[in-house]
Structure 1
């Protein structure tokens, strides 16, 4: 296991693929960890040095007092790149990871080569959605995380996918139950407070926006909005709910690789 030392603790990361290949950073969704990208890594590692990490508050990374902000999480990515002596990289983030990608595109575009934002929006949800969840998690702790896990299957996957792939769905949703309640609540606040609606036109790196046709958490309309605001952005949509990288699998991987390798 590999860790980078930040000022407040350690950030867990994993590297796969050829040492001399271009770096592709993968950023996890709220309530998962770097293993949410397991389906993609074999294909991505044929072309890239794949750098996955557990976002602060998730997996084996540091859990600090909340609330967090997307800026804070974006600066963690820059610190990771700096520590590994990576001046520029491709970045692919899903949901909360997509918010981090938007922040990087707006504020640190010089560190990016190409940007992929998946199953995300300029603003995800409202305070009426996030505040009760934060209160429940801080009040009930691990029991709340188990309850969220059980409810997440219907949000993260379509019913037909979950029925046909129960072990894969369980592997992913179990990540939610294993997430630190404190870290999860702090990240919920970061998502709650983020709104890049008025800043997206500042993104000038080549960008691909990916959506899931059945995604009720971040519907395609939000992805279309990002595409319209970012000049020259490309768009792709797959039959999937919120975790399109897991559900669409190889088709998702192929589209990302195609975009990242384009001249």
Structure 2
């Protein structure tokens, strides 16, 4: 089972589950925990091969990872803790896992907060994936990871996010990195399916205004899907929970509290501004 850490404030409090991206770990949410535990029970998981979930063995049947295997790892933790339903918050590739959870077990997902959401791969992203697949067996994987981090988060203000993710990626074994990289072969058909199918699950997209690779696709998708909202965080790149943690926390908490109260507004723009939390 995945390694996890939980913070329980009350038995009847709603749960929030944090899902990190590829190469990260639950440590990337260190700027969120303090604020979220004021309102919710919090569950942080380390995906297989990441953080303290390195012990998970891979059977012959799942030698090559796919999104269903990784998603069911999270469902197994929910079952073990007897969490019937929760809000889910993800960053980067973690948003794809959450969206897939909404497909496999929609009754378990009260809402989704998608930070730096990956909705569609633009031409630059497709080229990046192709380059990675070509060189993955020829160069050390950390060279590729540093290169990807710089392409996706290029500005000086993204430096903290880049360093955080590179440092976490160093803890992932090369063989494990290769297994995760095989997921790129699934991305295009899976993302196309997600784009065409509207789950209706309340979803808030939190995107940095400098997330040039993925923000345009999110702007498009929120116009097509019901119960989907977008908030753009200024002076922030792809990893907006680290670039602008106060904005990320306040907007996400406001949204989740509204969902918990079953009082979603017609538009995020009509929500009253939250005081700093």
What is the TM-score of this pair, normalised by structure 2?
0.79
Larger radius of gyration: 2
Q: Matched residues in 1 for 2:105 and 2:121: separation?
A: 21
Matched ranges for 1:8-87 at <5 A: 11-20=2-11, 21-61=13-53, 62=56, 64=58, 66-87=63-84
Question: For 1:202, what is the secondary structure of its paired residue?
Answer: coil
Q: CA deviation at 1:75?
A: 1.3
| 8 A Cα contact 2:205 2:218, kept in partner | yes
Give unpaired runs (5+ residues) of structure 2: 262-277
| 8 A Cα contact 1:138 1:182, kept in partner | no
Question: For 2:166, what is the secondary structure of its paired residue?
Answer: helix
When residues 232 and 117 of structure 1 are mapped into structure 2, their CA distance, relative to the original with a 3 A threshold, is same
Q: CA deviation at 1:37?
A: 0.6
1:152 pairs with 149, 153, 175, which one? Answer: 149
| 8 A Cα contact 2:49 2:176, kept in partner | yes
Give unpaired runs (5+ residues) of structure 1: 6-10
Q: Match for residue 275 of structure 2?
A: none
| 8 A Cα contact 2:23 2:165, kept in partner | no
Q: Match for residue 174 of structure 1?
A: 167
| 8 A Cα contact 2:208 2:238, kept in partner | yes
What is the TM-score of this pair, normalised by structure 1?
0.83
| 8 A Cα contact 1:32 1:176, kept in partner | yes
Measured on the aligned residues, the alpha-carbon RMSD in Å equals: 2.4
Q: Match for residue 91 of structure 1?
A: 88
Report the count of equivalent residues.
Answer: 247
When residues 86 and 157 of structure 1 are mapped into structure 2, their CA distance, relative to the original with a 3 A threshold, is farther
When residues 147 and 191 of structure 1 are mapped into structure 2, their CA distance, relative to the original with a 3 A threshold, is closer
Q: Matched residues in 2 for 1:45 and 1:78: separation?
A: 22
Q: CA deviation at 1:186?
A: 1.9
